[in-house]
Structure 1
């Protein structure tokens, strides 16, 4: 399992290249709630999301054999960008299969970073194809969320939050496959166990809640959400037990609430975000949360990779 030491080592591994992202005060929401709300602005990170943390940690800790014939991955987009960026710096070829409905901004961005991008079916079809390519080409699969080195890299977000927000009593974190919240959870439980960690999913892709209800990862029959970055059909064999151990509660928000939260972040907090990054704010605005009575709230804003056409269609 992942330990605090793994996450601290990951920070040492990537810290010379990836800077800590700031906490930004959400003044309007703070006034409404009567307590400070901080936004962990991972949308400002390299490639526009938190994903390069895990990608760079994986690349820099990989063996020559793992890197020798290139890498393969499945992604809705942000893992593709983060891994392509880290792989280009290391001179390692990477092939990424993305669903046909993937954001054009993410597809083009990944290709500009040197990745071979293949668009194929839905997320389940994309997984089937990448497994075939891994076997045929001898690629090493870099899982977008269910890999210890990826989880440790994403967990560096948690270390930063704990240092930046000493008065926080709750963290709200989006969940897709669970890699980010798993890493944050390990850091939180080791260093500030009383802090409440809440995962937020889209109602149309609540794969972690589905896993909790079935005592293990179970594939969703259907995924339907505007938050494509959170549209994992199944959580991981690593992320499920980590979330069970370290996450205090789960909640979900529908697409209307997500879009309202995007409007709030763009107009009031001045953060350009994609739908998946807004689910924590959506949960705060809808009020369907069991929060501590006092203390600051930190909301992880995971990414800002969305095209103008996509944005205008949503809003």
Structure 2
């Protein structure tokens, strides 16, 4: 786990630019479960997701030589947006390789923020391309999740939840590569160790569950899910052990369940969340996690970056 002091330092470092996001009561889910269910609105953060927290913390703690040659990253979209924005705050160029099937909304948004975006293959091929660019151009790689500075920044979500929801006994967090849940897990373990933290993955990209089964990070041969923001083929060397230590259980939900959760968020909670942000709600609707018998439940709604065309299939 990351030390509490490191998370608190990250919170102080980014607080002047990234204010806390709200907790919103989900009346429909609360009535259904007979307890208060809160939605942590990270879709209201800068660039529409939680990702700028880690990216801004990384940039503000970087050494001069790390920034000198420009930054590089691989992303399905939200890390691209977050890093492009954070790098822009410091006037640092950034090159991002995204899979060819990446959201055009996120591709265009990243370019508008000043990033050079290269579309290349699937997520595994995109990583191969970025490693070549790092060697050729002298870029500094900013990993989307497997970096302690990134994890510390994402952990500020956990600090906020623990302050905003003192009666919470459970948190449900989407899992891609594991940076967000590792940060939240570090915060919860330090401040409220009795709290139950659940990770939720799409069935077609359950890389953390695969790592748990293998006893170490292990690459998935194929990633296939509508929740592209959670499409990491392998979890991190840093995120895996933190997750293994702090997460009570993992759950998986299929694309149909994610679609039902998106429908609920749009029409009941009045939130336009992207598919990857809806998996925690899907787990509640599908009764995929064994919640503590009492107390409030917090579901992290990680982002809302989606075009009209991407949204239409779920309407």
Report the equivalent of 2:223: 223
1:189 aligned residue:
189
- Look up the match of 1:200: 200
Q: How many positions carry a matched residue from both structures?
A: 315
Instruction: Give 1:137's aligned residue.
Output: 137
Post-superposition Cα deviations, 1:61-98, rounded to whole Å, max 9, x if no partner, equal 00000000000000000000000000001000000000
What secondary structure is seen at the aligned counterpart in 2 of 1:117?
A: strand
* Residues 9-40 of structure 1: CA deviation (Å, up to 9, x unaligned): 00011000001000000001101110000000
* Alpha-carbon distance, 1:314 to partner: 3.9
The aligned residue for residue 300 of structure 1 is 300
Cα displacement string for residues 175-220 of structure 1 (whole angstroms, at most 9, x for unaligned residues): 0000000000000000000000000000000000000000000000
Residue aligning to 2:212: 212
Structure 2 gap ranges (5+): none
**Cα deviation per residue 1:92-115 (whole Å; 9 max; x = unaligned)?**
000000000000110000000000
Please identify runs of 4+ aligned residues in structure 1 that moved more than 6 A.
Answer: none
Computed over aligned residues only, the root mean square deviation of the Cα atoms, in angstroms, reads 0.6
The CA deviation string for residues 261-283 of structure 1, in whole angstroms up to 9 with x for no partner, is 00100111111110000000000
Cα offset for 1:313? 2.9
How far apart are the structure 1 equivalents of 2:166 and 2:288?
Answer: 25
Quick check: 2:205–2:230 contact (8 Å CA) kept in 1? yes
1:134-173 to 2 correspondence within 5 Å? 134-173=134-173
Residue aligned with 1:126, SS: helix
> Which residue matches 1:266?
266
- d(CA) in 1 for partners of 2:284, 2:313: 24
In the alignment, which residue of structure 1 is the partner of 2:290? 290
Structure 1 residue 310: Cα displacement: 1.0
**What CA distance in whole angstroms lies between the structure 2 residues aligned with 1:5 and 1:122?**
38
The Cα of 1:4 is off from its aligned counterpart by 1.0
Q: State the alpha-carbon separation in 2 of the partners of residues 171 and 59 from structure 1.
A: 28
In the alignment, does 2:52 pair up with 1:40? no
Please tell me whether the aligned partners of residues 263 and 314 of structure 2 are also in contact (alpha carbons under 8 angstroms): no
Q: Secondary structure at the residue paired with 2:201?
A: strand
- Structure 2 CA distance for aligned equivalents of residues 314 and 297 of structure 1: 25
2:179 aligned partner = 179
Give how far 1:5 is off: 1.0
Within 2, Cα distance between the matches of 1:18 and 1:116?
Answer: 24
- Tell me the equivalent position of 1:114: 114
Residue 88 of structure 1 is matched in structure 2 by 88
Q: TM-score, normalised by structure 1?
A: 0.99
1:18 aligns with 2:21: no
Matches within 5 A, 1:231-242: 231-242=231-242
Secondary structure at 1:194's aligned position in 2? coil
Q: Does the aligned pair in 1 maintain the 2:262–2:314 contact within 8 Å?
A: no
For normalisation by structure 2, the TM-score amounts to 0.99
